[in-house]
Chain A
Amino acid sequence: MTIFDLEHFSRDHFALFDLPRRQALDELELERRYRDIQAQVHPDKHAHLADADKRLAMQWATRVNEAYLALKSPLKRAEYLLGLLGHDPQIERNTAMPTEFLMHQMELREAVAEARAGGDIDALDHMHRKMKKEMAGQHQALARALDETMDYAHGAEVVRQLMFQEKLLHEIDEALQAVEA
């Protein structure tokens, strides 16, 4: 089959949506383009057609969902962009972090465990918001490093830190769930 060789289908995620390869990205515009393409390729639009069309529609819609997911979140986008630029952030191997960052994370983690044990929903909610805010700052740092200063090594470090922070956010969510149950 030649389907996957089609030039457009196999383009990188940015090119698929005809967007510039940048970390700073208009998320509303991405969403608009995602919806425009899905409106064309989604299996529901081809359900009355021949099997070949249906299979193709599923492959295309899958491809578009994959690209959208990779670009939607700033962390995933940065990981992907660094890869495209030839700077693998080495998430698995490189675990070095600034001491200050690590200390802060450890403190937060302890606070989460404490709030969870004490069933303190308000404290957990507060931490959730605080984490979100800290991460938003990191997202801006990523855009600066990847689009402006071209400091890819720093960008990769922020990516690794964000993975840490996402994990902690997930822990807060789980604690909230456990406390509410």
Chain B
Amino acid sequence: MALLQLSEPGQSAAPHEHRLAVGIDLGTTNSLVATVRSGISVVLSDELGRPLLPSVVHYAAEGVVDVGYEAQARQSIDPRNTVVSVKRFMGRGRADIAHIESMPYDFEDSPGMVKLRTAQGVKSPVEISADILKNLRTRAEAALGGQLTGAVITVPAYFDDAQRQATKDAARLAGINVLRLLNEPTAAAIAYGLDNGAEGIYAVYDLGGGTFDISILKLSKGVFQVLATGGDSALGGDDFDHRVFCWVIEQAKLSPVSPHDARLLQTRAREAKEHLTQHGEAPITAKLSTGEFVDLTLTSEIFNEISKTLVQKTLGPTRKALRDAGLSPADVKGVVMVGGATRMPQIQKAVGEYFGQEPLNNLDPDKVVALGAAIQANLLAGNRAAGDDWLLLDVIPLSLGIETMGGLTEKIIPRNSTIPVARAQEFTTFKDGQAAMALHVVQGERELVSDCRSLARFELRGIPPMVAGAARIRVTFQVDADGLLSVTAREQTTGHEARIEVKPSYGLTDDEVAAMLKDGFSHASDDAFRRALREAQVEAQRLIEAVQSALKEDAQLLSTLERAHVDACLGKLQAVMMGDNRRAIDDAMDNLNKATAEFAARRMNQSVQRALAGKKVSELES
């Protein structure tokens, strides 16, 4: 069914039209896209029937961008221009990336997020991820036969603000409307919980290609409440491959190998690791470009020995998350295993021993995250069916704080706070007439700012002149349902709204994203103008439907006069949305949004009253 069935001006489309929404698992090793069809979440395969898209991008000198299996086929031929595991670079600086010396890329020497020099120019991880997302968007739109309303994109629960923002920017570059960033273990819990009618405390152990998450959830009566989350955003199956790779180098007594040979051996290492899931030993053979020949046998005993510390590294965050939730292993009713790397027998064993129970493996660990994301996307897009009344309450994984005197961190929002969450803090000036103030926002649990992750530096300008200590500047930190931070500031004594300049430490500024978007459009084959217009029309249609359904339900909350104003704005938008004047559509949407703000507030108030209706104070005082 096509999404864009625009009706005649003045007529509305069917209010309950099914909107096309997908869940995307943007993985380190593989990515997937899924959707809900006839009430069932399914992974969308490519034209050859393959569900997974390897998260590999190849930038050929001729200007062709290959993604997936085609790119993977190029990786040992052209390693420098073939990017694998780009997720590890998202929102990260050079110093953050492990084993950077053994990577075959040409890194640009610049501060902030790493950038790679390729045959097609300098690429940021955001652009490379956007190429993967574009491929999945094309796949989904071909399969579903229409333009997507939006997508839920999953991120590791332990991703910090910079990594989340980078993911959202990548989606924007790929032309995807992000309905929500969803934590991967939470997505898995939704898929598992709804499928099995689970109730109680569950742990989700998610070891992917490059990230590890552990989340503790309470499932009860349709509410998925995350109690605590922990992890390591630089630990995954790749690290097990790397241990095997190092073992091969050592055993075969190889001198430094070329990028080609390194890629070849890394591939052999991964194959050996996968082979050991079903067998006691795995052969590793390779002919290097130097003429050297590698012929080794990796036994599971050796593999367990060389990877022991990695397995242990996942148990530390697991203990911490349980402690944060105020629980012990015995309180956990089930442990859901997610991520391809959980297939390793030593992982299954260690997790089973720690929790004192067999882990749950009845879901495909590669697909469960995408399936859960699709279920949430369907709900967020407004395709609500009976029995879909579940609610998700997630948390922020790392504490947010600011730098105070002496390089110390003052925590503003503690880790595992349920989102959305806001906290305000007051600051004052240090000198007479001080007109500006610098704030450094960090994320992490350590006392010293230098041990935490720098998120952004803010400068508050335009503070009215006052004596030192007289100004009272209230800075509000708001974390939204995507886990993303925004900061606003206001001078309290004069009500002056201070201007904030943000310098993201590892992200891209809005200007940079805008420039990339423009760049993308000028290279794109489809007409940028028509595309933007089409998007505005979809937006307008969505808004009209939303307002109409609100009016249908709660028209009594508006006076005759207010109703007339809303109707006028609605009529105006319907009149202009079929035209080709994008500005007029934007303006009419703006006006309708403003006209319905108060109405929305009253509706919300009413629904809260309804939630509490019938629960009187007297019931409790007996």
Contacts and interface: CB of A to CB of B under 8 A. Distances in A.
Q: Which 3 A/B pairs are nearest by Cβ-Cβ distance?
A: A48-B382, A47-B380, A40-B607
Interface string B410-432: 00000001111110000000000
Contact of B604 (A17, A33, A41, A180): A41
Interface residues of A, number: 46
A44 B605 contact: no
Given A33-B615, A62-B421, 14 more contacts: A2-B601, A20-B620, A33-B612, A35-B391, A39-B391, A44-B379, A47-B179, A47-B180, A50-B547, A53-B596, A57-B604, A58-B481, A61-B420, A65-B421
Contacts of A17: 612
Interface stretch (B108-116, B198-206, B315-323): B315-323
Interface stretch (A3-11, A133-141, A154-162): A3-11
B546 A48 contact: yes
7 contacts: A6-B605, A43-B420, A47-B179, A48-B542, A52-B597, A53-B546, A60-B608
A120 interface: no
Range of interface residues on chain B? 35 or more
Interface string B319-359: 11001000000000000000000000000000000000000
Interface string A7-31: 0110000000111100000100100
B320 A177 contact: yes
Nearest to B414: A69
B323 A176 contact: yes
B604 A48 contact: no
A41 B607 contact: yes
A79 B346 CA distance: 48
Nearest to B377: A47
Interface in B276-298: none
A52 B481 contact: no
A56 B608 contact: no
Interface of A: 1-3, 6, 8-9, 17-20, 26, 29, 33, 35-45, 47-53, 56-58, 60-62, 65-66, 68-69, 173, 176-177, 180-181
Interface of A is mostly: helix
A53 B600 contact: yes
Contacts of A61: 420, 481
B381 interface: yes
B420 A56 contact: no
B73 to A, nearest CB: 39
Contacts, number: 133
Interface string B359-394: 000000000000000001001111000000101110
Contacts of A19: 617, 620
Contacts of B481: 42-44, 58, 61
B422 A50 contact: no
B526 to A, nearest CB: 26
B610 interface: yes
Contacts of A60: 604, 608
Most buried by B among A17, A36, A42: A36
Contacts of A173: 323
A21 to B, nearest CB: 10
Nearest to A64: B608
A60 B422 CA distance: 11
Given A6-B601, A41-B607, A60-B608, A52 B421 contact: no
